[in-house]
Amino acid sequence: MKKRVISAAVGIPLIILLAWLGGHYWTVLVWLAALLSLFEFYRGVKTSGNRPLWLVGLMVIAWAMTLNASPLGGTLGALVLILSILILVILYPRYHIIDLAITWFGALYIGVLMGYTWKLGTLPGWFGVIMLALLLTWASDSGAYFVGKFWGKNKLAPQLSPNKTWEGFFGGFVATILVSLAGYWIMPGYSLYQYVGIGIAAGLAAPFGDLFASGIKRGFDIKDFGRLIPGHGGILDRIDSFMCVAPLVYILIVRWGG
């Protein structure tokens, strides 16, 4: 617990500062987090005998993160796919097609979701939007943790994450709604119903992101993706929920004319 608190005390202010500065600072933070997460993912799946293709992974994640920013996204994706197959055949003839599939899966999983995280920094009033996404995620995680710790009895998904409970899920869900209601008063510009909608979406997306990552780890027999953050595991362990909340916040804000 002490390590978790120290890591949070150092990491959270740094994230908030870079979000407030925006621009290149936010870009560097998001891309660094994405690349470190990809490294953790590939290192993790290697422990179960898989062999991800790093060069292909870097190409795919670069394409995936810029997919929505380029009108040629589909064409570039086709080129990346062709190149990745050529790299597999020419440079890694002993590798299997399943290695290429895992390579693509990891890069798309992280790249597409983190691409939306990056685009949060391009919205008008980006700092408020980024903080909303962060606070919703933290509220979900914290609410689920504390309610589950003290009152949790009924397992949510024991095969994926034995420690998660339905009580914790509802605790996190209520916490996100409360944060979204606070956002209505702190950051005006959207209706109460819109904020509640964001809260509901985040309240469902955050635990889904966590469970999805848990399913990946269970499938590859991985305990944690990394150990970079003391008390929290790796970067990907820490941002799996946020990666699912950020795209929904971005899509809803854009849809409502943000």
- pTM reported for the whole predicted model: 0.90
Higher-scoring residue by pLDDT: 231, 221: 221
pLDDT (tens digit, 9 = 90+) per residue, 135-151? 999 999 999 999 999 99
Query: Is there a contact between 254 and 123 (Cβ–Cβ < 8 Å)?
Result: yes
pLDDT (tens digit, 9 = 90+) per residue, 145-191? 999 999 988 999 888 888 899 999 999 999 999 999 999 988 878 88
pLDDT, average across residues 60-70: 83
Residue 98 has pLDDT above 80, yes or no: yes
Buried b (16+ CB within 10 A) or exposed e, 136-175: bbbbbbebbbebbeeebeeebbeebbeebbebbbbbbbbb
User: What 8-state DSSP symbol labels residue 233?
Assistant: B
pLDDT, average across residues 242-254: 94
